[in-house]
Amino acid sequence: MARYIFITGGVVSSLGKGLASAALGALLQARGYSVRLRKLDPYLNVDPGTMSPFEHGEVFVTDDGAETDLDLGHYERFTGVAARKTDSISSGRVYSNVLERERRGDYLGKTIQVIPHVTNEIKDFLKIGADEVDFMLCEIGGTVGDIEGLPFFEAIRQFGQDMPRGDCVYMHLTLLPFIAASGELKTKPTQHSVKELRSIGIAPDVLVCRSESPIPEKEREKLALFCNVRPDSVIAAMDLKSIYEAPLAYHHEGMDSAVLAAFGITDAPAPDLSKWEDVADRVYHPEGQVRVAVVGKYTQLEDAYKSIAEALTHGGMHNRVKVQAEWIDSEIFDREDAADRLQGYHAILVPGGFGERGTEGKIKAAAYAREHQIPYLGICLGMQMAVIEAARNLAGISNAGSEEFDHESAGQRRFEPVVYHLKEWLEGNRTIQRKADDDKGGTMRLGAYDATLAAGSQVAEIYGSTAISERHRHRYEVDMAYRDQLEAHGLRFSGVSPDGRLPEIVEFKGHPWYIGVQFHPELKSKPFAPHPLFADFVRAAVEQSRLV
Protein backbone atom coordinates (compact mmCIF):
# COMPACT_ATOMS: atom_id res chain seq x y z
CA MET A 1 0.00 0.00 0.00
CA ALA A 2 1.24 3.48 -0.93
CA ARG A 3 2.15 6.11 1.61
CA TYR A 4 0.02 9.23 1.23
CA ILE A 5 1.02 12.87 1.06
CA PHE A 6 -1.83 15.37 1.28
CA ILE A 7 -1.14 18.85 -0.03
CA THR A 8 -3.40 21.64 1.18
CA GLY A 9 -3.26 25.41 0.83
CA GLY A 10 -4.08 28.44 2.92
CA VAL A 11 -3.98 32.25 3.13
CA VAL A 12 -4.67 32.89 -0.58
CA SER A 13 -5.38 30.81 -3.66
CA SER A 14 -3.07 30.51 -6.69
CA LEU A 15 0.02 29.86 -4.58
CA GLY A 16 1.27 27.14 -6.88
CA LYS A 17 0.10 24.11 -4.91
CA GLY A 18 -0.09 22.10 -8.12
CA LEU A 19 3.46 23.01 -9.00
CA ALA A 20 4.73 22.24 -5.48
CA SER A 21 2.98 18.85 -5.60
CA ALA A 22 4.39 18.09 -9.04
CA ALA A 23 7.91 19.11 -8.03
CA LEU A 24 7.73 16.98 -4.89
CA GLY A 25 6.61 14.05 -7.05
CA ALA A 26 9.64 14.61 -9.29
CA LEU A 27 11.96 14.72 -6.27
CA LEU A 28 10.63 11.45 -4.88
CA GLN A 29 11.10 9.88 -8.31
CA ALA A 30 14.66 11.21 -8.37
CA ARG A 31 15.22 9.19 -5.21
CA GLY A 32 13.98 6.06 -6.94
CA TYR A 33 10.38 5.97 -5.63
CA SER A 34 7.31 5.51 -7.80
CA VAL A 35 4.59 8.14 -7.48
CA ARG A 36 1.10 9.03 -8.63
CA LEU A 37 -0.49 12.44 -8.24
CA ARG A 38 -4.14 13.13 -7.70
CA LYS A 39 -6.34 16.24 -7.51
CA LEU A 40 -9.46 16.71 -5.41
CA ASP A 41 -11.44 19.77 -6.43
CA PRO A 42 -14.18 21.26 -4.25
CA TYR A 43 -16.31 22.83 -7.02
CA LEU A 44 -19.69 21.37 -7.95
CA ASN A 45 -19.12 20.83 -11.66
CA VAL A 46 -18.85 17.10 -12.30
CA ASP A 47 -15.64 17.85 -14.22
CA PRO A 48 -14.07 21.05 -15.63
CA GLY A 49 -15.07 20.09 -19.20
CA THR A 50 -17.93 22.56 -19.29
CA MET A 51 -16.12 25.44 -17.58
CA SER A 52 -14.92 28.44 -19.52
CA PRO A 53 -11.17 28.57 -20.08
CA PHE A 54 -11.49 32.25 -19.14
CA GLU A 55 -12.54 31.23 -15.67
CA HIS A 56 -10.79 28.00 -14.97
CA GLY A 57 -7.92 27.84 -17.41
CA GLU A 58 -7.25 24.98 -19.75
CA VAL A 59 -9.01 21.63 -19.58
CA PHE A 60 -6.39 18.89 -19.42
CA VAL A 61 -7.38 15.64 -21.16
CA THR A 62 -6.05 12.24 -20.08
CA ASP A 63 -5.36 9.23 -22.31
CA ASP A 64 -8.46 7.52 -20.93
CA GLY A 65 -10.60 10.46 -21.93
CA ALA A 66 -11.19 12.42 -18.72
CA GLU A 67 -11.49 16.20 -18.85
CA THR A 68 -9.54 17.36 -15.84
CA ASP A 69 -7.99 20.26 -14.01
CA LEU A 70 -4.88 21.85 -15.50
CA ASP A 71 -2.86 20.84 -12.44
CA LEU A 72 -2.84 17.32 -13.85
CA GLY A 73 -0.82 18.81 -16.68
CA HIS A 74 1.81 19.98 -14.20
CA TYR A 75 1.85 16.53 -12.64
CA GLU A 76 2.50 14.87 -15.99
CA ARG A 77 5.07 17.40 -17.11
CA PHE A 78 7.10 16.93 -13.95
CA THR A 79 6.76 13.19 -13.40
CA GLY A 80 6.09 11.80 -16.86
CA VAL A 81 3.39 9.60 -15.27
CA ALA A 82 0.31 9.65 -17.51
CA ALA A 83 -2.69 10.81 -15.49
CA ARG A 84 -5.87 8.75 -15.50
CA LYS A 85 -9.56 9.40 -15.07
CA THR A 86 -9.17 8.22 -11.49
CA ASP A 87 -6.66 10.94 -10.67
CA SER A 88 -9.16 13.77 -10.64
CA ILE A 89 -12.37 14.18 -8.69
CA SER A 90 -14.66 17.08 -7.82
CA SER A 91 -17.40 17.57 -5.24
CA GLY A 92 -19.81 17.42 -8.16
CA ARG A 93 -18.59 13.96 -9.12
CA VAL A 94 -18.63 12.76 -5.50
CA TYR A 95 -22.20 13.93 -4.89
CA SER A 96 -23.34 12.64 -8.25
CA ASN A 97 -21.96 9.17 -7.42
CA VAL A 98 -23.52 9.18 -3.95
CA LEU A 99 -26.91 10.31 -5.25
CA GLU A 100 -26.85 7.76 -8.05
CA ARG A 101 -26.24 5.03 -5.49
CA GLU A 102 -28.96 6.37 -3.25
CA ARG A 103 -31.48 6.17 -6.11
CA ARG A 104 -30.32 2.68 -6.97
CA GLY A 105 -31.05 1.66 -3.39
CA ASP A 106 -27.48 0.87 -2.36
CA TYR A 107 -27.99 2.52 1.01
CA LEU A 108 -31.58 1.33 1.47
CA GLY A 109 -33.00 2.31 4.85
CA LYS A 110 -30.22 4.74 5.65
CA THR A 111 -30.15 8.51 5.95
CA ILE A 112 -27.47 9.77 3.56
CA GLN A 113 -25.08 12.22 5.19
CA VAL A 114 -21.88 14.06 4.44
CA ILE A 115 -20.19 12.00 7.15
CA PRO A 116 -19.90 9.08 6.48
CA HIS A 117 -21.39 8.69 2.99
CA VAL A 118 -19.74 11.56 1.18
CA THR A 119 -16.46 11.19 3.05
CA ASN A 120 -16.44 7.42 2.39
CA GLU A 121 -16.90 8.08 -1.30
CA ILE A 122 -13.87 10.40 -1.20
CA LYS A 123 -11.81 7.87 0.75
CA ASP A 124 -12.68 5.11 -1.73
CA PHE A 125 -11.46 7.39 -4.48
CA LEU A 126 -8.18 7.99 -2.64
CA LYS A 127 -7.54 4.25 -2.40
CA ILE A 128 -7.81 3.48 -6.12
CA GLY A 129 -4.52 2.07 -7.39
CA ALA A 130 -2.86 2.44 -3.96
CA ASP A 131 -0.90 -0.79 -4.31
CA GLU A 132 0.75 0.33 -7.56
CA VAL A 133 3.09 3.03 -6.21
CA ASP A 134 5.30 3.98 -3.27
CA PHE A 135 3.75 7.41 -2.79
CA MET A 136 0.36 8.82 -3.63
CA LEU A 137 0.33 12.63 -3.63
CA CYS A 138 -3.15 14.13 -3.25
CA GLU A 139 -3.71 17.83 -3.68
CA ILE A 140 -6.86 19.46 -2.32
CA GLY A 141 -8.03 22.36 -4.47
CA GLY A 142 -8.99 25.71 -2.95
CA THR A 143 -7.89 26.93 0.48
CA VAL A 144 -8.55 25.64 3.97
CA GLY A 145 -11.75 27.11 5.38
CA ASP A 146 -13.68 27.14 2.09
CA ILE A 147 -17.17 25.80 2.80
CA GLU A 148 -17.26 23.47 -0.18
CA GLY A 149 -13.84 22.02 0.62
CA LEU A 150 -14.80 20.80 4.10
CA PRO A 151 -15.83 17.23 3.18
CA PHE A 152 -12.45 16.74 1.48
CA PHE A 153 -10.53 17.97 4.52
CA GLU A 154 -12.66 15.76 6.77
CA ALA A 155 -12.03 12.79 4.49
CA ILE A 156 -8.25 13.22 4.48
CA ARG A 157 -8.30 13.64 8.26
CA GLN A 158 -10.19 10.35 8.64
CA PHE A 159 -7.92 8.71 6.09
CA GLY A 160 -4.91 9.45 8.30
CA GLN A 161 -6.65 7.57 11.11
CA ASP A 162 -7.65 4.65 8.88
CA MET A 163 -4.11 4.11 7.65
CA PRO A 164 -1.31 2.58 9.71
CA ARG A 165 0.25 5.21 11.98
CA GLY A 166 2.82 7.29 10.10
CA ASP A 167 1.64 6.43 6.61
CA CYS A 168 0.08 9.83 5.87
CA VAL A 169 1.88 13.15 5.80
CA TYR A 170 0.21 16.54 5.49
CA MET A 171 1.99 19.35 3.67
CA HIS A 172 0.46 22.82 3.87
CA LEU A 173 1.28 25.65 1.48
CA THR A 174 0.92 29.26 2.60
CA LEU A 175 2.09 32.77 1.81
CA LEU A 176 4.48 34.94 3.80
CA PRO A 177 3.60 38.45 2.67
CA PHE A 178 6.41 40.99 2.60
CA ILE A 179 5.58 44.33 4.16
CA ALA A 180 7.83 46.82 2.47
CA ALA A 181 7.33 49.58 5.08
CA SER A 182 8.78 47.46 7.87
CA GLY A 183 10.93 45.31 5.59
CA GLU A 184 9.49 42.14 7.12
CA LEU A 185 8.05 38.82 6.05
CA LYS A 186 4.87 38.34 8.04
CA THR A 187 4.06 34.99 9.60
CA LYS A 188 0.64 35.78 11.06
CA PRO A 189 -1.49 34.72 8.06
CA THR A 190 0.31 31.37 8.06
CA GLN A 191 -0.30 30.96 11.78
CA HIS A 192 -4.01 31.61 11.23
CA SER A 193 -4.17 29.23 8.33
CA VAL A 194 -2.55 26.42 10.31
CA LYS A 195 -4.89 27.17 13.22
CA GLU A 196 -7.81 26.74 10.83
CA LEU A 197 -6.38 23.44 9.61
CA ARG A 198 -5.79 22.18 13.15
CA SER A 199 -9.32 23.15 14.16
CA ILE A 200 -10.57 20.54 11.71
CA GLY A 201 -8.17 17.97 13.06
CA ILE A 202 -5.28 18.16 10.63
CA ALA A 203 -1.84 18.99 11.98
CA PRO A 204 0.53 19.75 9.12
CA ASP A 205 3.90 17.98 9.14
CA VAL A 206 5.55 20.21 6.56
CA LEU A 207 4.93 23.89 5.86
CA VAL A 208 5.79 25.28 2.46
CA CYS A 209 5.87 29.05 2.55
CA ARG A 210 5.78 31.10 -0.62
CA SER A 211 7.84 34.22 -0.18
CA GLU A 212 9.71 36.75 -2.23
CA SER A 213 12.89 36.35 -0.21
CA PRO A 214 14.59 33.74 1.98
CA ILE A 215 12.96 33.18 5.39
CA PRO A 216 15.17 34.66 8.13
CA GLU A 217 16.02 32.26 10.94
CA LYS A 218 13.92 34.23 13.45
CA GLU A 219 10.77 33.91 11.32
CA ARG A 220 11.44 30.26 10.62
CA GLU A 221 11.63 29.53 14.34
CA LYS A 222 8.52 31.54 15.00
CA LEU A 223 6.61 29.62 12.35
CA ALA A 224 7.83 26.31 13.73
CA LEU A 225 6.87 27.25 17.26
CA PHE A 226 3.44 28.68 16.54
CA CYS A 227 2.48 26.17 13.87
CA ASN A 228 3.81 23.13 15.72
CA VAL A 229 6.21 21.89 13.04
CA ARG A 230 9.95 21.30 13.20
CA PRO A 231 12.12 24.21 12.03
CA ASP A 232 13.63 22.09 9.24
CA SER A 233 10.10 21.32 8.04
CA VAL A 234 9.49 24.98 7.23
CA ILE A 235 10.35 25.12 3.56
CA ALA A 236 10.82 28.40 1.72
CA ALA A 237 9.35 28.38 -1.77
CA MET A 238 10.70 31.50 -3.35
CA ASP A 239 9.58 32.97 -6.65
CA LEU A 240 11.45 31.35 -9.52
CA LYS A 241 12.15 32.66 -12.98
CA SER A 242 11.16 29.29 -14.43
CA ILE A 243 8.88 26.66 -12.94
CA TYR A 244 11.34 24.04 -14.16
CA GLU A 245 13.80 25.11 -11.53
CA ALA A 246 11.30 24.09 -8.82
CA PRO A 247 12.58 20.53 -8.20
CA LEU A 248 16.13 21.82 -7.72
CA ALA A 249 15.06 24.81 -5.62
CA TYR A 250 12.72 22.82 -3.39
CA HIS A 251 15.30 20.12 -2.91
CA HIS A 252 17.81 22.79 -1.93
CA GLU A 253 15.32 24.03 0.67
CA GLY A 254 14.89 20.50 1.99
CA MET A 255 11.33 19.72 0.90
CA ASP A 256 11.85 16.06 0.02
CA SER A 257 14.01 15.43 3.10
CA ALA A 258 11.37 17.01 5.35
CA VAL A 259 8.58 14.90 3.82
CA LEU A 260 10.60 11.69 4.10
CA ALA A 261 11.59 12.55 7.66
CA ALA A 262 7.92 13.03 8.51
CA PHE A 263 7.33 9.44 7.38
CA GLY A 264 10.26 8.37 9.53
CA ILE A 265 12.23 7.37 6.43
CA THR A 266 15.87 8.01 7.16
CA ASP A 267 17.57 5.70 4.68
CA ALA A 268 16.18 7.14 1.42
CA PRO A 269 18.61 7.09 -1.49
CA ALA A 270 20.09 10.49 -2.42
CA PRO A 271 18.26 12.00 -5.38
CA ASP A 272 19.69 11.94 -8.87
CA LEU A 273 18.83 15.42 -10.11
CA SER A 274 20.86 15.37 -13.32
CA LYS A 275 17.70 15.41 -15.45
CA TRP A 276 16.50 18.59 -13.74
CA GLU A 277 19.93 20.19 -13.88
CA ASP A 278 19.90 19.70 -17.65
CA VAL A 279 16.35 21.08 -17.88
CA ALA A 280 17.27 24.17 -15.82
CA ASP A 281 20.42 24.69 -17.86
CA ARG A 282 18.42 24.67 -21.07
CA VAL A 283 15.79 27.09 -19.72
CA TYR A 284 18.27 29.52 -18.25
CA HIS A 285 20.90 29.50 -20.96
CA PRO A 286 19.24 29.86 -24.34
CA GLU A 287 21.45 30.67 -27.28
CA GLY A 288 18.88 32.63 -29.25
CA GLN A 289 15.27 33.69 -29.33
CA VAL A 290 12.29 33.20 -31.62
CA ARG A 291 8.96 34.99 -31.63
CA VAL A 292 5.82 32.91 -32.02
CA ALA A 293 2.38 34.45 -32.49
CA VAL A 294 -0.36 32.40 -30.85
CA VAL A 295 -3.57 33.55 -32.49
CA GLY A 296 -6.40 32.46 -30.24
CA LYS A 297 -9.48 33.47 -28.37
CA TYR A 298 -8.83 32.98 -24.66
CA THR A 299 -5.83 35.28 -24.67
CA GLN A 300 -6.62 37.29 -21.50
CA LEU A 301 -5.95 34.41 -19.14
CA GLU A 302 -2.50 32.89 -19.27
CA ASP A 303 -3.70 29.56 -17.92
CA ALA A 304 -6.18 29.08 -20.77
CA TYR A 305 -3.43 27.73 -23.02
CA LYS A 306 -1.16 26.44 -20.27
CA SER A 307 0.01 23.26 -22.00
CA ILE A 308 0.66 25.09 -25.28
CA ALA A 309 2.82 27.68 -23.50
CA GLU A 310 4.74 24.90 -21.78
CA ALA A 311 5.11 22.79 -24.92
CA LEU A 312 6.54 25.83 -26.76
CA THR A 313 9.01 26.30 -23.92
CA HIS A 314 9.98 22.62 -24.22
CA GLY A 315 10.43 23.03 -27.97
CA GLY A 316 12.67 26.01 -27.24
CA MET A 317 14.69 24.01 -24.72
CA HIS A 318 15.21 21.30 -27.31
CA ASN A 319 16.60 23.86 -29.76
CA ARG A 320 18.36 25.85 -27.05
CA VAL A 321 16.39 29.01 -27.80
CA LYS A 322 13.95 31.05 -25.81
CA VAL A 323 10.48 31.02 -27.32
CA GLN A 324 8.81 34.35 -26.90
CA ALA A 325 5.14 33.46 -27.29
CA GLU A 326 2.85 36.42 -27.92
CA TRP A 327 -0.85 35.94 -27.49
CA ILE A 328 -2.98 37.69 -30.09
CA ASP A 329 -6.76 37.83 -29.92
CA SER A 330 -7.89 36.65 -33.35
CA GLU A 331 -10.83 39.07 -33.29
CA ILE A 332 -8.33 41.84 -33.91
CA PHE A 333 -8.21 40.72 -37.55
CA ASP A 334 -11.86 41.69 -37.95
CA ARG A 335 -10.55 45.26 -37.78
CA GLU A 336 -6.85 45.09 -38.61
CA ASP A 337 -4.93 43.66 -41.52
CA ALA A 338 -3.33 40.31 -40.58
CA ALA A 339 -0.23 41.15 -42.61
CA ASP A 340 0.46 44.27 -40.53
CA ARG A 341 0.01 42.52 -37.22
CA LEU A 342 1.74 39.23 -38.01
CA GLN A 343 4.80 40.61 -39.70
CA GLY A 344 8.07 39.71 -38.04
CA TYR A 345 6.93 36.60 -36.21
CA HIS A 346 9.00 33.50 -36.84
CA ALA A 347 6.05 31.14 -36.55
CA ILE A 348 2.29 31.20 -36.06
CA LEU A 349 0.26 28.85 -33.92
CA VAL A 350 -3.53 28.66 -33.94
CA PRO A 351 -4.69 26.71 -30.89
CA GLY A 352 -7.91 24.85 -30.12
CA GLY A 353 -11.13 26.60 -29.31
CA PHE A 354 -14.89 26.47 -29.32
CA GLY A 355 -17.54 28.60 -30.97
CA GLU A 356 -17.55 30.92 -33.96
CA ARG A 357 -16.27 34.11 -32.38
CA GLY A 358 -12.81 34.96 -33.66
CA THR A 359 -12.68 32.18 -36.25
CA GLU A 360 -12.52 34.46 -39.30
CA GLY A 361 -9.39 36.01 -37.77
CA LYS A 362 -7.86 32.57 -37.32
CA ILE A 363 -8.56 31.79 -40.97
CA LYS A 364 -6.78 35.01 -41.92
CA ALA A 365 -3.78 34.05 -39.77
CA ALA A 366 -3.66 30.62 -41.46
CA ALA A 367 -3.82 32.30 -44.90
CA TYR A 368 -1.03 34.69 -43.97
CA ALA A 369 1.22 31.84 -42.78
CA ARG A 370 0.53 29.81 -45.94
CA GLU A 371 1.08 32.66 -48.35
CA HIS A 372 4.20 34.01 -46.63
CA GLN A 373 5.83 30.63 -46.01
CA ILE A 374 5.80 31.15 -42.24
CA PRO A 375 5.85 28.01 -40.08
CA TYR A 376 2.26 27.26 -39.02
CA LEU A 377 0.97 24.84 -36.42
CA GLY A 378 -2.82 24.48 -36.24
CA ILE A 379 -4.13 22.54 -33.27
CA CYS A 380 -7.65 21.09 -33.36
CA LEU A 381 -9.73 24.17 -34.25
CA GLY A 382 -6.47 25.53 -35.71
CA MET A 383 -6.35 22.59 -38.13
CA GLN A 384 -10.02 23.02 -39.02
CA MET A 385 -9.35 26.70 -39.78
CA ALA A 386 -6.38 25.80 -42.01
CA VAL A 387 -8.58 23.38 -43.97
CA ILE A 388 -11.36 25.94 -44.34
CA GLU A 389 -8.80 28.50 -45.50
CA ALA A 390 -7.48 26.12 -48.18
CA ALA A 391 -11.02 25.16 -49.22
CA ARG A 392 -12.00 28.80 -49.65
CA ASN A 393 -8.86 30.27 -51.13
CA LEU A 394 -7.41 27.37 -53.10
CA ALA A 395 -10.20 24.94 -53.90
CA GLY A 396 -12.69 27.68 -54.71
CA ILE A 397 -15.33 26.68 -52.13
CA SER A 398 -15.94 30.28 -51.22
CA ASN A 399 -18.47 29.56 -48.47
CA ALA A 400 -16.53 26.73 -46.82
CA GLY A 401 -17.07 26.63 -43.04
CA SER A 402 -17.79 24.42 -40.07
CA GLU A 403 -21.06 22.95 -38.92
CA GLU A 404 -20.10 24.19 -35.46
CA PHE A 405 -21.09 27.66 -36.61
CA ASP A 406 -24.41 26.94 -38.28
CA HIS A 407 -26.60 24.00 -37.56
CA GLU A 408 -28.85 22.49 -40.13
CA SER A 409 -31.69 22.98 -37.67
CA ALA A 410 -31.03 26.72 -37.53
CA GLY A 411 -32.53 27.15 -40.99
CA GLN A 412 -30.57 28.18 -44.00
CA ARG A 413 -26.89 27.29 -44.03
CA ARG A 414 -24.34 30.05 -44.29
CA PHE A 415 -21.49 27.63 -44.88
CA GLU A 416 -20.73 24.56 -46.89
CA PRO A 417 -19.68 22.20 -44.05
CA VAL A 418 -16.13 21.19 -44.89
CA VAL A 419 -15.93 20.53 -41.15
CA TYR A 420 -18.94 18.58 -39.93
CA HIS A 421 -20.43 17.38 -36.67
CA LEU A 422 -18.94 13.97 -35.98
CA LYS A 423 -21.65 11.61 -34.78
CA GLU A 424 -20.05 8.20 -35.12
CA TRP A 425 -16.50 6.93 -34.72
CA LEU A 426 -14.52 3.89 -33.66
CA GLU A 427 -12.90 3.61 -30.27
CA GLY A 428 -10.81 0.48 -30.66
CA ASN A 429 -13.41 -1.91 -32.06
CA ARG A 430 -16.33 -0.15 -30.45
CA THR A 431 -18.55 2.24 -32.38
CA ILE A 432 -19.32 5.42 -30.47
CA GLN A 433 -22.45 7.34 -31.42
CA ARG A 434 -23.63 10.83 -30.61
CA LYS A 435 -26.70 12.90 -31.33
CA ALA A 436 -26.80 16.63 -32.04
CA ASP A 437 -28.66 17.31 -28.79
CA ASP A 438 -26.50 15.14 -26.51
CA ASP A 439 -25.43 16.46 -23.10
CA LYS A 440 -22.59 18.93 -23.33
CA GLY A 441 -20.48 17.29 -20.61
CA GLY A 442 -18.06 14.50 -21.53
CA THR A 443 -19.61 13.71 -24.92
CA MET A 444 -16.83 14.77 -27.27
CA ARG A 445 -14.34 12.47 -28.94
CA LEU A 446 -12.05 12.41 -25.93
CA GLY A 447 -8.72 10.89 -25.01
CA ALA A 448 -6.10 8.85 -26.83
CA TYR A 449 -6.74 7.66 -30.37
CA ASP A 450 -4.27 6.10 -32.79
CA ALA A 451 -3.43 7.64 -36.14
CA THR A 452 -1.61 6.25 -39.16
CA LEU A 453 0.85 8.54 -40.89
CA ALA A 454 1.64 8.35 -44.61
CA ALA A 455 5.12 6.95 -45.18
CA GLY A 456 7.43 9.65 -46.48
CA SER A 457 5.25 12.49 -45.20
CA GLN A 458 6.74 15.38 -43.25
CA VAL A 459 4.96 14.32 -40.07
CA ALA A 460 6.14 10.70 -40.34
CA GLU A 461 9.65 12.08 -40.49
CA ILE A 462 9.09 14.37 -37.51
CA TYR A 463 7.62 11.57 -35.38
CA GLY A 464 10.10 9.03 -36.73
CA SER A 465 7.16 6.63 -37.01
CA THR A 466 3.99 6.00 -38.99
CA ALA A 467 1.93 4.89 -35.98
CA ILE A 468 1.14 7.42 -33.27
CA SER A 469 -1.33 7.93 -30.45
CA GLU A 470 -2.48 11.38 -29.40
CA ARG A 471 -5.13 12.93 -27.16
CA HIS A 472 -8.30 14.37 -28.60
CA ARG A 473 -11.05 16.70 -27.46
CA HIS A 474 -13.41 17.73 -30.20
CA ARG A 475 -16.89 17.40 -31.57
CA TYR A 476 -16.29 18.38 -35.20
CA GLU A 477 -14.17 16.81 -37.89
CA VAL A 478 -12.76 17.65 -41.33
CA ASP A 479 -14.86 15.87 -43.97
CA MET A 480 -12.95 13.19 -45.88
CA ALA A 481 -15.19 13.92 -48.87
CA TYR A 482 -13.01 16.97 -49.59
CA ARG A 483 -9.72 15.09 -49.44
CA ASP A 484 -9.07 14.73 -53.20
CA GLN A 485 -10.07 18.28 -53.92
CA LEU A 486 -7.80 19.69 -51.20
CA GLU A 487 -4.90 17.37 -51.95
CA ALA A 488 -5.05 18.49 -55.59
CA HIS A 489 -4.18 21.94 -54.22
CA GLY A 490 -1.31 20.71 -52.05
CA LEU A 491 -3.00 20.15 -48.69
CA ARG A 492 -2.04 16.58 -48.00
CA PHE A 493 -4.02 14.44 -45.54
CA SER A 494 -0.87 12.86 -44.13
CA GLY A 495 -2.37 11.34 -41.00
CA VAL A 496 -5.68 9.49 -40.71
CA SER A 497 -7.49 7.32 -38.17
CA PRO A 498 -6.61 3.59 -38.46
CA ASP A 499 -9.94 2.91 -40.22
CA GLY A 500 -9.09 5.66 -42.71
CA ARG A 501 -12.31 7.57 -42.04
CA LEU A 502 -11.10 10.55 -40.03
CA PRO A 503 -8.40 13.03 -41.05
CA GLU A 504 -5.95 13.50 -38.18
CA ILE A 505 -3.17 15.56 -39.78
CA VAL A 506 -2.85 17.82 -42.80
CA GLU A 507 0.38 19.29 -44.16
CA PHE A 508 1.18 21.60 -47.01
CA LYS A 509 3.40 20.49 -49.83
CA GLY A 510 5.79 23.18 -50.96
CA HIS A 511 5.63 25.04 -47.65
CA PRO A 512 8.56 24.76 -45.23
CA TRP A 513 6.36 23.90 -42.23
CA TYR A 514 2.58 24.03 -42.37
CA ILE A 515 0.91 21.36 -40.26
CA GLY A 516 -2.57 21.01 -38.80
CA VAL A 517 -3.44 18.33 -36.25
CA GLN A 518 -6.88 17.33 -35.03
CA PHE A 519 -5.46 16.36 -31.63
CA HIS A 520 -3.63 18.12 -28.82
CA PRO A 521 0.09 17.32 -28.95
CA GLU A 522 0.79 19.92 -26.26
CA LEU A 523 -0.76 17.65 -23.63
CA LYS A 524 2.00 15.10 -23.92
CA SER A 525 5.04 17.36 -24.05
CA LYS A 526 7.50 17.29 -21.15
CA PRO A 527 10.53 19.46 -20.38
CA PHE A 528 12.80 16.41 -20.51
CA ALA A 529 10.95 14.93 -23.53
CA PRO A 530 9.63 17.73 -25.77
CA HIS A 531 6.86 16.70 -28.11
CA PRO A 532 8.36 16.05 -31.58
CA LEU A 533 5.90 18.42 -33.28
CA PHE A 534 6.78 21.28 -30.93
CA ALA A 535 10.50 20.51 -31.11
CA ASP A 536 10.37 20.63 -34.90
CA PHE A 537 7.99 23.61 -35.06
CA VAL A 538 10.46 25.64 -32.99
CA ARG A 539 13.34 24.35 -35.16
CA ALA A 540 11.45 25.68 -38.19
CA ALA A 541 10.92 28.99 -36.36
CA VAL A 542 14.67 29.21 -35.74
CA GLU A 543 15.24 28.65 -39.44
CA GLN A 544 12.69 31.34 -40.27
CA SER A 545 14.43 33.72 -37.86
CA ARG A 546 17.59 33.36 -39.93
CA LEU A 547 15.72 34.46 -43.05
CA VAL A 548 14.21 37.66 -41.69
Cα–Cα distance, 195 to 198 (Å, whole number): 5
| Binding piece for ligand GLN, criterion CB under 6 A, among 71-79, 232-240, 347-355, 432-440 | 347-355
Q: Looking at residues 453 to 492 of the shown chain, list those that interact with ligand GLN (rule: CB under 6 A).
A: 473-476
- In whole angstroms, how close is the CB of 402 to ligand GLN at the nearest point? 7
Contact, 380 vs 517, CB < 8 A? yes
Separation of alpha carbons 126 and 328, rounded Å? 41
Q: Tell me the site size for ligand GLN, rule CB under 6 A.
A: 10
The one among 404, 479, 504, 536 contacting ligand GLN by CB under 6 A: 404
Residues 380, 474, 504, 507: which is the catalytic one?
380
- Per the CB < 8 A criterion, the answer to whether 184 and 178 are in contact is yes
Residue 31 or 475 with smaller CB distance to ligand GLN = 475
Task: Clarify whether 138 is annotated catalytic.
Answer: no
Give the SS3 label for residue 476. strand
Q: Which of 380, 453, 462, 535 binds ligand GLN (CB under 6 A)?
A: 380
Instruction: Based on the shown chain and the rule CB under 6 A, indicate whether residue 516 belongs to the binding site for ligand GLN.
Output: no
| Interatomic CA distance for residues 524 and 73, integer angstroms | 9
Q: Choosing from 117, 346, 520, 531, which is the catalytic residue? A: 520
27-to-143, 288, 529 alpha-carbon distances in Å: 24, 30, 17
Q: Looking at 58, 154, 389, 522, which residue is catalytic?
A: 522
One residue of 48, 65, 353, 527 binding ligand GLN per CB under 6 A: 353
* Nearest residue to ligand GLN, by Cβ distance, number only: 352
Angle at 100 (CA atoms; ends 99, 103), nearest 5 degrees: 85
Q: Is 198 exposed, middle or buried (0-12, 13-18, 19+ CB in 10 A)?
A: middle
By the rule CB under 6 A, 77 interacts with ligand GLN: no
Choose which of 20, 23, 223, 381 interacts with ligand GLN (CB under 6 A). Answer: 381
Encoded amino acid at 98, one letter: V
Question: Smallest gap, in angstroms, from Cβ of residue 518 to ligand GLN?
Answer: 8
Nearer to ligand GLN, 51 or 150 (CB): 51
209 assigned to active site? no
Whichever of 119 and 359 has its CB closer to ligand GLN, that residue is: 359
Q: Please, which residue, 10 or 353, has the CB nearer to ligand GLN? A: 353
Min. distance of Cβ 71 from ligand GLN in angstroms? Answer: 19
Contacts with ligand GLN, 185-224, as mask; x by CB under 6 A:
----------------------------------------
CB nearer ligand GLN, residue 474 or residue 511: 474
Could you write out the DSSP letters of every residue in 173-233? EEE--EETTTTEE--HHHHHHHHHHHHTT---SEEEEEESSPPPHHHHHHHHHHHT--GGG
Nearest-angstrom CA–CA distance, 245 and 217: 24
Gap between the Cα atoms of 390 and 394, Å rounded: 5
Q: Contact at 8 Å (CB) between 159 and 168?
A: yes
Nearest residue (CB) to ligand GLN, 23 versus 380: 380
Is 380 tagged catalytic?
yes
173 contacts 13 by C-beta, under 8 angstroms: no
Minimum distance from residue 454 beta carbon to ligand GLN (Å): 23
Q: In the complex with ligand GLN, which residue's Cβ is closer, 57 or 316?
A: 57
b/e for 442-475, b at 16 or more Cβ within 10 A? eebbbbbbebbbbeebbbbebbeebebebbbbbb
What span, in angstroms and rounded, lies between the C-alpha atoms of 519 and 471?
A: 6
The residues annotated with a catalytic role in the active site are 380, 520, 522
Positions that interact with ligand GLN (CB under 6 A): 352-354, 380-381, 404, 473-476
